[in-house]
Amino acid sequence: MFPLKRLITGIAILLAFTAASDIGAAEPSSDKLVKSLARQAPGLRSDVLKMALRAAQTAAERGLVQQRDLLTVIDYSLPSTQPRLFVFDLVARKLLFRELVAHGRNSGDNVPSFFSNSSGSLASSLGLFVTADPYIGGNGYSLRLRGLEEGINDMAWDRAIVMHGAAYVSQAAIKILGRLGRSWGCPAVRPEIAHKIIDTLRGGSAVFAYYPEKSWLATSAFVRSATSSQRAAAR
């Protein structure tokens, strides 16, 4: 029995390693994976998801992302009244969370249109982030985010742009305001789900915040890498 048990354990480890290696190598933006994940995430466009997968892969190849099996996509082109935060387990090919998320007070009303990297702007930032460790602060249990894009979101740490729960992220707020309440730039989520999301994402997973802002799309090293890969694959 003992050799058989060891054999089964060895096979399980090999299969898990193979799956993780496939995700970490050439597969992240494969049409099969994108279609599988997009089907589970109503509202998230396939091209945005593919861009996020490629951007996260580029960062992982540079050693900037430790938790390569997870990807969070925030699509700020969607209204705040619609779930626009999506968390995926890439190895299991499964949607873990589809949630409402707030944007910054000065980013706009229901649909944001202004994004900033500046302290005191009270606006959301775009681009690729990586999660750090949680802490307990003025908004309770919160998750630090480190911006990876110079001039786009690299001030996030100094600005205390973190993920946290907020009472203004709720269906009740939508009924009263016609939109979610707004943060000081943080991607705030429902208090009921905040702790679970934070504990899932903590420790080096990628967070991709999207909006079709031309200057960012044209200059971001991660996005340009993603779009170049997509063009090459289409040839």
And the tokens for 157? 């740490």
Express each pLDDT in 27-85 by its tens digit.
555 889 999 999 999 999 999 999 999 999 999 999 999 999 999 999 999 999 999 99
Express each pLDDT in 175-190 by its tens digit.
999 999 999 999 999 9
Give me the helix-helix angle, 46-61 and 31-39, nearest 10°.
120
Nearest to 103 by CA among 86, 80, 128: 80
Query: How confident is the model at residue 20, as a pLDDT?
Result: 43
Distance CA 123, CA 135 (A): 22
pLDDT over 90 (residue 7) = no
Q: Which of 12-26, 158-172, 184-198 is least confident?
A: 12-26
pLDDT over 80 (residue 14) = no
pLDDT over 80 (residue 206) = yes
Distance CA 207, CA 53 (A): 10
Split at pLDDT 50, 70, 90, the class of 226 is low
State which H helix or E strand residue 21 sits in: helix 2-24
Distance CA 56, CA 127 (A): 10
Q: Could you please report the per-residue DSSP string of 96-140?
A: EEEE----BGGGBSSSB-----STT------EEEEEEEEEEETTE
Distance CA 120, CA 25 (A): 39
Average confidence (pLDDT) over 141-158 = 97
Distance CA 111, CA 100 (A): 13
